[in-house]
Chains A and B, each alone.
Chain A
């Protein structure tokens, strides 16, 4: 049986063989692998960039107190970025499924239109959800815009839902039953924390504190970007705003129209960082551009 660990290792090996750097997970609370600077910032500008990494991701509002067999507020995305997108990128992706032991011709695989947009990142892309027998296992996106900046060189982003894939491969109905490795289940590594986080996210998180934190992080991000062009920490602070907002959202204290205002504030920060990063790379003379 392919354990959860085997699945991650297989993907690491596969994409390494395709010429990707295997990066380590980013150490900030993010809702998706896209929010890591290895994607969000690096997809800006003309330089090539081929990476893959596991990204632990948090979406507080998605928690279900461990009662839903497939939905959790904390999970592990597998993220691939290839920039510029190679000709055979869809074939490469499908090969990776074969590498995971999925005989494609025995299943129903469909690429269903799903354009992706992250209002908070000012990012948008065009692509698909990949369905394996009706289950979405991957989001496949050609980035068109990041931080409001049109992508000069288009990245293909592949985001695997690792737990979802593993349940299909192991024939389990619940992620809690997944074998992580060596006889230890996913429930053992994750379930208690998941439960506690759901209680925190939905019931306990101090909303006054979170509103305050949002304001503080926002102010700090703007300050250090303006004063010293510190793109990396300014972006980290934008991510912290984003996570504070996600918690407020889970607490149900943000209305539809108010949401738009908060998301706009996060986008303003993210855009400033993307523009700062673009400038930085220009000043460095785009060192990764070959044949320059």
Chain B
């Protein structure tokens, strides 16, 4: 059975794009060729490979052509197609012509004209020529580009195509690049073109032309060579998965090179060295048996084993230059302490309207103290936390961080340690930037977490105070990320302060510095809470909490992020159960009548009902039920016993039902009516402490895409 080869030859693709594109190509091939009945997973195989310069589909077991088919096509009714004399009308003639048969060949089935048509299956060669360009055009990339005068968008320019069905070229084109059988080898080791006689021969031809098309093979080459080189000098190579992937897709023919740098650089902070090696040079660092960084590295060359000394010298020189640079900054930084560097932050603007980073670092201790972040801590912890608050932004004025901004906090930690600050302080300085984004771990220490909270609150309250909030896709100050981080941090413990008290502390800290807040206190608080609520909503969605449950819980007052999250998670597990349904039924009945009253213009008085104004025993019974439930519910909520609290609410339902059956709520007597409404108002308040049950959608399985 025929085999197919499709090679998309490109200029160097971004390393992270190749694997996802390979997956898309495989899916595209499977779907399209299966649908066209030219290939099936039962009898055929498909393998997609790729390098920086090519994406390749190799498939076996294709059909030569589609099968011929006999089709029965229904036409106009017999009455329309033939006149009373039995002669064909224009309708019959037209139908026959359209299907390429003579009018005599038409038959009549169930009162309708029918044409029996033989459809000759088309050849695979022909159909593949249509499907392959479609597969290419449907590929998507994190970022696409145009080139030349063309309109096609692709990851990088397409420069050649090979499309073969056995020995034959599949005639097709993408943009103005026509497919043929001519491929290209490794850019430098085998730059010429070569003809591919048939799909099976491709892989070996590429190998001869110094291209290893299979990513797993290149990975294996890199890992085994790197390990062997490290072993030669008694070290272990630190292979970070992401960096390995990158090297796999930066090379068509990888060769590992062992390099060294002067051991005098080892006196620089390790994160600085490792960042320079990994992030800037894509080298793998080496450690010795005790886990200490060695003055060596393994780099991956895109080429063979020749002239390795030239390449190694280049690799070493560029790393030395980077380390020299770092040492220059380090020496400058060593001339002053972190405490001195705080003064340097006086000229770094945090935000034009919100003052300098220096001012921010003066606010942090105030937020820690007045916001309640020092509560429950022991005196030594408090001292360390306040010290870290003061120093945590100092490294922004260091030369090292100005040069390597990604190392903010990490450099501060190193410098603090060198200057003899307590370990708690050093760790909190680096920790307070965490989490940097979704999925990033939280700070590892208590002080770090609390400082991280204060820093984010300061930022969010500051921007809210000048009326800046994210809109749509625009969030230039990354406020959503800050809010998401704050939510994650506050969700870690029950003993952390409420969003409100943190807001107030930060708001006062800004006011005390005479920083002009253009938004009103009320608007700023609303905008701050909106951001937090949205981020908590997103966090709960990620934990698969139904959208209506999230809405129901998030519309209740939020005293503690941790509590609200726990309640939403618990309710998410309980919703749909009997107790939730009972509670909801009671709550809905109460809400409906209160809504009706409101529509009628009746102000529901917010006061305890007066039993003297009750007409019916059901009223007193409901009040008794309420009073009993209220104290039980409060205790259960305080203990975070959500199933029990929900059960307590559910148990109110019979009394509610009996009440509605026995009395006419909206009676004529205004005082008695208002008294009944007061009772219901109290009940609603009770239910709403758990969730706004009205928002729960009955029978809803919680498809979150319906939301927003």
Contacts and interface: CB of A to CB of B under 8 A. Distances in A.
B149 A84 contact: yes
B356 interface: yes
B328 A68 contact: yes
A199 to B, nearest CB: 15
A144 B143 CA distance: 11
Please classify how large the interface on chain A is, using the bins under 10, 10 to 19, 20 to 34, 35 or more: 35 or more
Contact of B348 (A126, A133, A255): A255
A104 interface: yes
A113 B281 CA distance: 13
Interface string B120-148: 00000000000000000000000101111
A133 B12 contact: no
Contacts of A90: 11
A107 B281 CA distance: 16
A133 B352 contact: no
Contacts of A292: none
Given A135-B318, A142-B147, A154-B149, A255 B325 contact: no
Contact of B302 (A87, A109, A156, A258): A109
Contacts of B13: 113
Given A84-B148, A113-B15, A135-B317, A255 B302 contact: no
B148 A255 contact: no
Interface stretch (B218-226, B303-311, B333-341): B303-311
A173 interface: yes
A257 B303 contact: no
A133 to B, nearest CB: 2
Interface in B278-328: 281-282, 299, 301-303, 306-307, 310-311, 313-315, 317-319, 321, 324-325, 328
A134 B347 CA distance: 36
Given A68-B325, A85-B148, A133 B356 contact: no
Contacts of A144: 145-146
A134 B314 contact: yes
A69 interface: yes
A69 B323 CA distance: 12
A111 B149 contact: no
A253 B344 CA distance: 10
A67 B328 contact: yes
Interface in A46-94: 64, 67-71, 84-87, 90, 94
A283 interface: no
A257 B318 contact: no
Given A173-B317, A257-B477, A68 B324 contact: yes
Contacts of A15: none
A261 interface: yes
Contacts of B143: 115, 126
B310 A107 contact: yes
Contacts of B302: 108-110
Interface string A115-132: 100000000001010001
B356 A255 contact: yes
Given A144-B146, A252-B348, A70 B321 contact: yes
A195 interface: no
Contacts of A126: 143, 145, 156
Contacts of A94: 187
A227 interface: no
Contacts of B325: 64, 68, 71
A108 B301 contact: yes
Nearest to B320: A173
Interface in A239-278: 252-258, 260-261
B250 interface: yes
A153 interface: yes
Contacts of B313: 133
A90 B147 CA distance: 12
Interface in A220-249: none
A94 B184 CA distance: 16
A284 to B, nearest CB: 20
30 contacts: A64-B325, A71-B325, A85-B147, A87-B148, A87-B159, A104-B187, A105-B188, A105-B189, A105-B303, A106-B307, A106-B310, A107-B310, A108-B301, A108-B302, A109-B188, A113-B13, A113-B16, A132-B314, A134-B315, A135-B318, A142-B145, A142-B147, A144-B145, A144-B146, A151-B146, A173-B317, A253-B347, A255-B351, A257-B354, A261-B352
Given A70-B321, A252-B348, 18 more contacts: A85-B148, A86-B148, A87-B148, A94-B187, A105-B188, A108-B315, A110-B12, A113-B15, A126-B156, A132-B314, A134-B281, A134-B314, A134-B317, A144-B146, A154-B147, A173-B317, A253-B347, A255-B357
Interface of A: 64, 67-71, 84-87, 90, 94, 104-113, 115, 126, 128, 132-135, 142, 144, 151, 153-154, 156, 168, 173, 252-258, 260-261
Q: Give the 6 A-B CB pairs with smallest separation, nearest first.
A: A255-B349, A133-B314, A113-B14, A111-B12, A257-B351, A126-B145
